Amino acid sequence: MAEVVLENICKTYGNNFHAIDQLNLSVEDGEFLILVGPSGCGKSTALRMIAGLEDITSGSLRIGGVDVVDMPPKDRDIAMVFQSYALYPHMTVSENIAFSMRLAGKPKAERKKRVDEIAKTLQLTSLLDSKPANLSGGQRQRVAMGRAMVREPAAFLMDEPLSNLDAKLRVQMRAEITSLQKQLGVTTIYVTHDQIEAMTMGDRVAVLKGGVLQQVDTPKRLYESPVNAFVAGFIGSPSMNLFEATMTGAELMSGAFAIRLQDAAFVRRPGLKSYAGRKVVFGIRPEDLYDSSLESGRKYQTIPAKVTSIEELGSEHIVHLNIDAVRVDSGDPDAVQDFGLTSNAVARFEPDSAVRSGSAIRLALDDTKLHFFDPETHLAI
Amino acid sequence: MRKRNSGKDRLITVALHVALAAGLFFAAFPIYWMLSSSFKSNTEIFALPPTILPKAFTLEAYAAILGDPVKLRFFFNSYFLAGTVTVLTVLIALLAAYGFSRFNFRGKGSLNTLIISTQTIPPITLLIPFFGLVVSYGIFDTYVALILTYLVFTLPYAILLMTGYLNTLPRDLDEAVAVDGGTSWTALWRVIVPISLPGIVATSVYTFLLCWNEFLFALTLTKSTSMRTVPIGIQLLMGQHAFEWNQMMAMSVLGSLPLLVIYLVAQRYFLAGMTAGSVK
């Protein structure tokens, strides 16, 4: 067990493409850190650099206090779970798990004892003599976990280990991996593009975009205080609604509506005053928008909106809306999926909401939950 | 309307079958003739009109070949050469292909092009230069001469074949070995080779066939009877005064047998997906 420290890590390819730019990250001993970001953000590259499968162009990397930049993967005391699992197809489950011990020259009795222990933890005992081809996706995933656990490494590196599983199994394995990590207490760096995995599994989450670290924080703080519009849009599902508006006194003006801001908003963000008379980006999460005809929405101010479509999920309604404001692109390539082409806002209503597709409604919003960003830099105000 | 159509369809079907049967006859008759002649006596072979089935079935041609140490030596030579070249080719091609498939190095692209371009040179044009080289090395009329020249012809295609196969194996496997504490060498022998059997078998069969059937270089680079291979041996049965047709055919049958066996044994490897269960 050890801490993993990345200092000014850079990865530049031959064509001068910066896959990773000045990455500074400190993962504490026993911590579960999630690396998250849209595809191509460099999160897998970062993980592969920690594993030693990818050269580090510049910077320093220490695992358990030892500088490992020039070490091959086998000397770094790490174990990795691959997205594809990469099980050895010609070996049985037990041989797969014991392979690293065999390479290390551990005696047979010790190997067997360790494999049995791990198989018990992962409920693989009855499958030890099977070949990977005869296992289900979830079982293969557990074998891959076992192969990593057998080495008792200083750190686990996991590269989207759940992305090949179906949705139901993914939820189950999410919980299993989290509890296993807590039980073993091994420092874990986990790469995913799925922000639900990021929010539910990690002690802390590092958000990457274009090879640049945006924010590292606990899931709760990332959700509540994103440092910029990208993190605001990326964390949370459906994404935060981001719009451009003009600050006029204590009001946000956009098209046909105005949102009054309370004094508290300015007390919490002293910088907001300087935007008076200027454009500002404001954000509000779908769960902070309410159906004004329901009890929950009565206490808030309202703005006009037109419903374009509704997804009834049973426990809630995801309502796609159009409001008279210019939507701001957070830079998250997946956000378009949340908003679609015909709407510019999305809200989560309670299931007893009776709004209809195509109808004009009054949309209630909790103005204490507004987020503000600079329209140029997209940094939080 | 429908009836006329089906009549026309039937006519087309019949015509197609006749054409296919003619094609089949053209391909299969020589093999049948080889088999049937090998069981005839030499006098029956010269009978007019020729007999389609052996009138007097005899194994005398086979006995003559299998009882003659000189002719058995031809078989040994062919097996030994084809076997040695196959093993060497597979080993060298495997290492080269692993390099091409898994590593980046200077000149990789041009080296690949060079290997492909060697395939465009007809071997016969290299006969004279090889002859000169073999004589000046002092290895004329030896196994080494044939093994070296055969390797020159088998390796390029074998490397391409193996590289293509290794490229289909996920790199994650090599990386898993690296993380598990192994080197590239470990990955190659402990993981890549065991799951590359289909590629290795395909390469082996190709190489073995090429060596087994080779005539031109075997004829030119050897001289003594004890160094001759089966294809030369068959030709040697055409003497100045006598044509041992039945023995030539029997030797051809015996010469074809190993190839048939190899095909039957190797077949299942071509079909099996060796990497099933590795990823996803």
pLDDT value at residue B270: 62
B243: domain range? Answer: 64-279
Tokens of B55: 């009138």
Q: Is residue B130 part of a domain?
A: yes
DSSP A148: H
The answer to whether the Cβ–Cβ distance between B179 and A135 falls below 8 Å is: no
Q: How many CB atoms lie within 10 A of CB A256?
A: 10
Q: Specify the 3-state DSSP secondary structure of A260.
A: strand
- Counting beta carbons within 10 angstroms of the beta carbon of residue B200, is it exposed (0 to 12), middle (13 to 18) or buried (19 or more)? buried
Q: Is residue B217 part of a domain?
A: yes
Q: What is the pLDDT of residues A229-283, one digit of tens each?
A: 999 999 888 889 999 999 888 888 888 788 888 888 888 888 888 888 899 999 9
B122 and B247 together in one domain: yes
% of chain A residues with pLDDT over 70: 98
Candidates A200, A240, A192; CA nearest to A220 is A200
CATH code of the domain covering residue B89: 1.10.3720.10
Q: What is the pLDDT of residues A82-103, one digit of tens each?
A: 999 999 999 999 999 999 999 9
B231 and B270 together in one domain: yes
Residue A334's pLDDT band (cuts 50, 70, 90): low
B17 and B144 together in one domain: no
Distance from CA of B279 to the nearest CA of A (A): 5
Low-confidence ranges of chain B (pLDDT < 50): 1, 273, 277, 280
Contacts of B181 in chain A (CB under 8 A): 74, 100, 103-104, 151
Domain's final residue, options B39, B60, B81: B60
B55 and B76 together in one domain: no
What's the rounded Cα separation, in Å, for the pair A266 and B112? 67
What's the rounded Cα separation, in Å, for the pair A132 and A107? 24
pLDDT value at residue A336: 59
Residue A339's pLDDT band (cuts 50, 70, 90): low
B134 and B37 together in one domain: no
The answer to whether the Cβ–Cβ distance between A74 and B176 falls below 8 Å is: no
Q: What is the pLDDT of residues B202-230, one digit of tens each?
A: 889 889 989 998 999 999 999 998 999 99
The residue behind tokens 């600079």 is A374
pTM value is: 0.82
Say whether residue A142 is in contact with chain B using an 8 A CB cutoff.
no
pLDDT value at residue A251: 87
Nearest to A132 among B177, B191, B278 (CB): B278
The answer for residues whose C-beta is within 8 angstroms of residue A220's C-beta and 6 or more apart is none
B75 and B52 together in one domain: no
pLDDT value at residue B92: 96
What's the rounded Cα separation, in Å, for the pair A80 and A147? 9
Tokens of B65: 């070949």
B86 and B21 together in one domain: no
The answer to whether the Cβ–Cβ distance between B182 and A103 falls below 8 Å is: yes
pLDDT value at residue A1: 57
Q: Is residue B127 part of a domain?
A: yes
Q: Is residue B51 part of a domain?
A: yes
pLDDT value at residue B273: 47
B218 and B194 together in one domain: yes
B98 and B226 together in one domain: yes
The answer to whether the Cβ–Cβ distance between B280 and A85 falls below 8 Å is: yes
Domain's final residue, options B38, B60, B82: B60
Mean pLDDT, residues A31-59 taken together? 92
Mean pLDDT, residues A3-14 taken together? 91
Mean pLDDT, residues A17-25 taken together? 90
B20 and B102 together in one domain: no
B111 and B50 together in one domain: no
Q: Is residue B193 part of a domain?
A: yes
Q: Is residue B2 part of a domain?
A: no
pLDDT value at residue B4: 57
B35 and B71 together in one domain: no
Contacts of A137 in chain B (CB under 8 A): 280
Interface predicted TM-score (ipTM): 0.84
pLDDT value at residue A212: 92
Q: Is residue B201 part of a domain?
A: yes
Chain B's closest residue to A155, CA to CA, is: B179
Annotate chain B with three-state secondary structure: CHHHHHHHHHHHHHHHHHHHHHHHHHHHHHHHHHHHHHCCCHHHHCCCCCCCCCCCCCCHHHHHHHCCHHHHHHHHHHHHHHHHHHHHHHHHHHHHHHHHHHCCCCCHHHHHHHHHHHCCCCHHHHHHHHHHHHHHHCCCCCHHHHHHHHHHHHHHHHHHHHHHHHHHCCHHHHHHHHHCCCCHHHHHHHHHHHHCHHHHHHHHHHHHHHHHHCCHHHHHHCCCHHHCCHHHHHHHCECCCCECHHHHHHHHHHHHHHHHHHHHHHHHHHHCCCCCCCCC
pLDDT value at residue B2: 52
Q: Which residue has the higher pLDDT, A343 or B229?
A: B229
The answer to whether the Cβ–Cβ distance between B277 and A132 falls below 8 Å is: yes
The answer for residues whose C-beta is within 8 angstroms of residue A273's C-beta and 6 or more apart is A266
The answer to whether A98 touches A150, Cβ cutoff 8 Å, is yes
Q: Is residue B18 part of a domain?
A: yes
- Count: domains in chain B: 2
